[in-house]
Chains A and B, each alone.
Chain A
Amino acid sequence: QVQLVQSGSELKKPGASVKVSCKASGYTFTNYAMNWVRQAPGQGLEWMGWINTNTGNPTYAQGFTGRFVFSLDTSVSTAYLQISSLKAEDTAVYYCARARTFDPWGQGTLVTVSS
């Protein structure tokens, strides 16, 4: 079945970097774009942007430029979200979700930024 499996929780110090992975299975990875969505503790869903899995071209929402980078490794059907210069306010669950239909979603990766 179509599935997205994300990497495990991360605890990082301010200023560090983190790389979250999202491994796809059950479909042709390069046929569907991949979205990234942030959910801060107790908050709603915020679209961060998406990446064209065929061309590798990313699109970032306002507020997610500069420190946020989407990338791919199509050989292993995996999308990545890297966040650099982490701040406390980056503490959130990060989700990947397939295509414009946002189906399916990964299980989420909790990134905690704390000194």
Chain B
Amino acid sequence: DIVMTQTPLSLSVTPGQPASISCKSSQSLLHSDGKTYLYWFLQKPGQPPQLLIYEISNRFYGVPDRFSGSGSGTDFTLKISRVEAEDVAVYYCMQTKQLPFTFGPGTKVDIK
């Protein structure tokens, strides 16, 4: 199975400041079809997860452009350029390159 790790596991950010979350996979997520199946989700308190970014760097519909994803192979990063109060959530990376699909442990972001 592909193991996903995230650092840090928690992050406290001043509003307006940037935040960065690292996600690493135990194997390359580059598929033979040329796509890299790395996704980012956020889960706000009491809500289901929602898709934030797909295939490393593509923002999903309606996702603010302060969110960006980058990386390749086994190392990926989610960045929030200017954290807002509404960004308080747990952020998960996930791979769907191969079965079983696996999630990272999650990074809890809160506001200072």
Contacts and interface: CB of A to CB of B under 8 A. Distances in A.
Interface string A104-115: 111110000000
A107 B48 CA distance: 6
A101 B50 CA distance: 10
B71 to A, nearest CB: 18
Given A45-B92, A62-B100, A102 B48 contact: no
Interface residues of A, number: 21
Most buried by A among B90, B92, B101, B105: B101
A104 B50 CA distance: 7
A59 B96 CA distance: 14
Q: Would you call the interface of chain A mostly helix, strand, loop, or mixed?
A: loop
Most buried by B among A61, A62, A95, A107: A61
Nearest to B105: A44
Interface in B41-86: 41, 43, 48-51, 54, 60
Contact of B101 (A44, A47, A105, A107): A47
Given A95-B49, A101-B96, A102-B41, 19 more contacts: A44-B90, A44-B103, A44-B104, A45-B94, A45-B106, A46-B103, A49-B100, A62-B100, A95-B48, A100-B96, A101-B39, A101-B51, A102-B39, A102-B94, A102-B96, A105-B49, A105-B50, A107-B48, A108-B48
